[in-house]
Amino acid sequence: MVKVLRKGKLVYELPNIEAMRKLRLQDIDRLDPGVKRLIEPHLYHVSLTPKLWNLKEKLIKNAKK
């Protein structure tokens, strides 16, 4: 992890578009083939930490007010 913003200002040199594209393609390559299928793909389960779960619940509750 690296700092990207500090006090609302960008402090990280963003990679160029080709470098970002290459990284995202590598990310996709690491996915299970079953998740990438277009017909009946497997579900890609993502777990939430307790802290993130609580934040999600709080935001939902506040949005319903």
Instruction: Quote the pLDDT of residue 48.
Output: 94
pLDDT grade for 44, boundaries at 50, 70 and 90: confident
Q: Which residue has the higher pLDDT, 46 or 19?
A: 19
Identify which of 21, 41, 40 has the alpha carbon closest to the alpha carbon of residue 31.
41
Q: Beta strands of the chain (E only): which ranges?
A: 5-6, 9-10
Give me the number of domains the chain comprises: 1
pLDDT tens digit sequence for 6-29: 999 999 999 999 999 999 999 999
Q: Which two tokens stand for residue 21?
A: 């594209």
Q: Please give the share of the chain, as a percent, with pLDDT higher than 70.
A: 100
Place of tokens 């160029």: 16
Distance between CA atoms of 42 and 57, rounded to whole angstroms?
A: 26
Owning domain of residue 26: 5-63
pLDDT grade for 65, boundaries at 50, 70 and 90: confident
Q: Which two tokens stand for residue 8?
A: 């609302």
